[in-house]
Amino acid sequence: MTGSPWSAEFERVLRGYLPLHGPDARLRPDDSLADLGLDSMATVGLLVDVEEEFGIALADDDLTDQTFASPAALWAVVDRLRGASR
Amino acid sequence: MSAVPWRAALVDRVLPVVAEHAAVVDTEAAFPAQGMAELAASGLHGLLVPAEFGGLGGGLHDLVGTAQDLAGACLSTAMVWGMHCQQVDTLVQHATGSLRDDVLPRIARGELYLASVTTEPGKGGHLLTAVAALRDDGDALLVDRDAPVVTGGLHADGFLITMREAEDAGSQRVTLVYADRDQLAVERSGGWDTVGMRGTESVGLRIAGRVPAGQVVGQPGGFREIALRSMAPVGHLVWSACWLGAARAALADLVGWLRSSERGKGVDVRSELTAERVARVRMDLEVVSAYLSRVTDEVVASRAGGASLSGVDAQIHLNTLKVVAAESTFRAVDRMVRIAGLTAGYRKDSPLRLERRFRDLRSASLNYADDRLLVSTGALTLMDRAVRLL
């Protein structure tokens, strides 16, 4: 995944929750996750998978529309928590 | 809390007309034209229109209060009017420029009754998706779509319509457009012969026409934000208020009957069984009333502070209101039928009229399905470890 600002694991997990995103299309930092099919049920699944993948726990204050608005916004939170847990 | 001190006088003026036509509206599954004409003439069509545009300048507390009052007389009329007000709120909050300056004064003058076109075949009842796409022919936007359920659609003077943003846009990119009746060809495509809520005349329509780009409400593709800020919260508030108003009027009728010599020999008002059953009805309505009031406060406060209502806790509260109101008001009227018995409770020709309210309130859990909201609330609950209760 050269050229992406996030890790390959993040991209793999995230893509699993975006049914409206073409498998060959590039995921851009500011894509709207809602537009790509992330609904409230999918958000829970994504949250749990991301937390397990990176061994982190998002605080309730991070669980906002903004956090799940775009790949870049979610990665910013994940990356911050990932750094803090190292 | 009321911003419109003379609201009660206006409601008193329209209630006799609304009540007078409640039975025929139900029997014939016909739009409550007389009641809506009286509401328009009274100024209540413009309840939520700011005073600077000629409206009554009312707020959401006025809306839920009026909806309850109307629903006591005729739930179908209350729902038709309430959903009109839901569209008005959307325009007040999100329409700008010439569209706002054109439509709001017409609403305030009672010239514009609005219907909502959000249902569509093939999208499984999802509010936030659309199938049919807007097409831009260079001069105007082309609207062409089916809508299987449009409350009052054959009688509307204007429509708020959801469309997919463009032919190359995903189903989640939804644009809201306003259209005047004379900008559209509106053709009836389905009937409305239902158990209850018959007077809403929520027939299927096929709608086609051209509207200027200036009639897009909010941002192109940005309906999600409108739904979160206006359409969903106001919908849940006004529906819940309507159902509560109907159930409350039913209880008032029932208590009056129980206290009168009309009650049959089969009902012993001195018995603990009757008391327990009546208590259960009252408690259901108490809880809905209090929760409706608190959620209304929360929506009003978050709007005043510019918040979006998209927080996990606010969404849970709005979903809970709708589901609790739907379940509790139907349960209450079901219990009332049992209390009144076969003759006074179940017969169509009983002066208690419980059977119509029973049929009407059966729709509550289906009118934007409780199942869908419960799934959403369950997902959101898992995202709120702090359990921020209202």
pLDDT digits (tens, 9 = 90+) for B75-109: 999 999 999 999 999 999 999 999 999 999 999 99
CB atoms within 10 A of CB A53: 15
DSSP letters for B157-189:
SEEEEEEESSTTS-TT-EEEEEEEGGGEEEEEE
Task: Please give the pLDDT value at position B263.
Answer: 87
B363 and B344 belong to one structural domain:
yes
Provide the pLDDT confidence category of residue B2 given band limits of 50, 70 and 90. low
Chain A residues within 8 A of B376 when measuring between CB atoms? 40-41
Mark yes or no for CB contact B310/A64 under 8 Å: yes
Contact across the interface for A20 and B379, Cβ inside 8 Å: no
Cα B69–Cα B74–Cα B76 angle in degrees, nearest 5: 115
SS3 for B74-131 is CHHHHHHHHHHHHHHHHHHHHCCHHHHHHHHHHHHCCCCCEEEECCCCCCCCCCCCCC
- B185 with B160, same domain: the answer is yes
**Backbone φ/ψ region at B141: left (φ over 0), alpha (ψ -120 to 50), beta:** beta
B2 lies in some domain = no
Q: CATH no. for residue B171?
A: 2.40.110.10
- In the predicted structure, residue B309 carries a pLDDT above the cut 80: no
> Inter-chain contact A64–B311, Cβ cutoff 8 Å?
yes
Q: Would the pLDDT of A2 be above 80?
A: no
Tokens encoding B173: 């990119």
- The average confidence (pLDDT) of chain B is 95
Give the per-residue pLDDT at B265. 80
Per residue in B326-381, pLDDT (tens digit) is: 999 999 999 999 999 999 999 999 999 999 999 999 999 999 999 999 999 999 99
Please indicate, yes or no, whether residues B90 and B144 belong to a single structural domain of this protein. no
Both B121 and B86 in a single domain? no
Spell out the residues 6+ positions from residue B283 whose beta carbon is closer than 8 angstroms to its own. none
Q: Is B39 contained in some domain?
A: yes
Residue B147 Cα, gap to closest chain A Cα (Å)? 22
Decide if B311 and A36 are in contact by the 8 Å CB cutoff: no
**B387 Ramachandran zone, left/alpha/beta (phi>0; psi -120 to 50):** left
Would the CB atoms of B312 and A63 count as touching at under 8 Å?
yes
The pLDDT assigned to B375 comes to 93
- The CATH code belonging to domain A8-85 is 1.10.1200.10
Are B119 and B104 in the same domain? no
Q: Residue for token digits 């726990």?
A: A57
- The residue assigned the tokens 């959401």 is B60
Q: Rounded to a whole number, what is the distance in Å from the CA of B375 to chain A's nearest CA?
A: 7
Say whether B172 and A63 touch across the interface (CB within 8 A).
no
Look at residue B306 and tell me whether its pLDDT is greater than 80.
no
Taking alpha carbons only, the member of B325, B348, B350 closest to residue B247 is B325
Alpha helix segments (H runs only) across chain B: 7-20, 22-28, 33-42, 60-73, 75-94, 97-108, 223-226, 232-258, 272-304, 312-341, 354-361, 370-381
- B239, B377: one domain: yes
Within 8 A of A47 by CB-CB distance, chain B residues are 383
Q: In the predicted model, what is the mean pLDDT of residues A38-52?
A: 91
In chain A, which among 3-42 make CB contacts under 8 A with chain B? Answer: 20, 32, 34-37, 40-41
A contacts of B220 (beta carbons < 8 Å): none
If residue A39 lies in a helix (H) or strand (E), which one and from where to where? none
Nearest to B172 among A35, A43, A65 (CB): A35
Judged on CB neighbours under 10 Å (0-12, 13-18, 19+), B128 is middle
User: Are residues B54 and B199 located together in one domain of the fold?
Assistant: no
**pLDDT for residue B3 is more than 80:** no
Specify the pLDDT at position A1: 43
**Rounded Cα distance, B52 and B275, in Å:** 51
Task: Work out the pLDDT band at B308, boundaries 50, 70, 90.
Answer: low
Give the torsion sign (CA, B271, B277, B278, B280).
Answer: positive
The mean pLDDT of B170-190, rounded to a whole number, is 96
Are residues B210 and B325 located together in one domain of the fold?
Answer: no
Tell me: do B196 and B235 sit in the same domain.
no
Q: Is residue B133 part of a domain?
A: yes
Please indicate, yes or no, whether residues B106 and B137 belong to a single structural domain of this protein.
Answer: no
Q: Are residues B104 and B19 in the same domain?
A: yes
Give residue-wise pLDDT tens across range A56-69.
Answer: 999 988 888 889 99
- Written as six digits, the tokens of B310 are 């998209």
What is the mean predicted confidence (pLDDT) over B299-323?
89
B168 is a domain residue: yes
Reported pTM: 0.93
pLDDT of amino acid A65:
85
Q: Is residue B389 part of a domain?
A: no
Question: CB B170 to CB A63 under 8 A?
Answer: no
Residue B271's domain is classified under what CATH number?
1.20.140.10
| β-sheet bridge partners, residue B217 | B176
Distance between CA atoms of residues B197 and B82, nearest Å: 13
CATH of the domain at B43: 1.10.540.10
pLDDT classification of A12: cutoffs 50, 70, 90? very high
| Residues of B whose CB is below 8 A from A64 | 310-312
Alpha-carbon distance B168 to nearest alpha carbon in chain A (angstroms): 12
Domain that holds residue B202: 115-217
Q: A41 and B375: CB-CB below 8 Å?
A: yes
Q: Which of A40, A51, A70 to mutate to test the interface with B (most CBs of B within 10 A)?
A: A40
Average pLDDT over residues B151-161: 97
pLDDT at B322: 98
Q: Name the more confident of B126 and A76.
A: A76
Residue B45, in any domain of the structure: yes
Number of domains in chain B: 3
- Hunting for tokens 């495509």 — which residue is that? B189
- Domain assignment present for residue B390? The answer is no
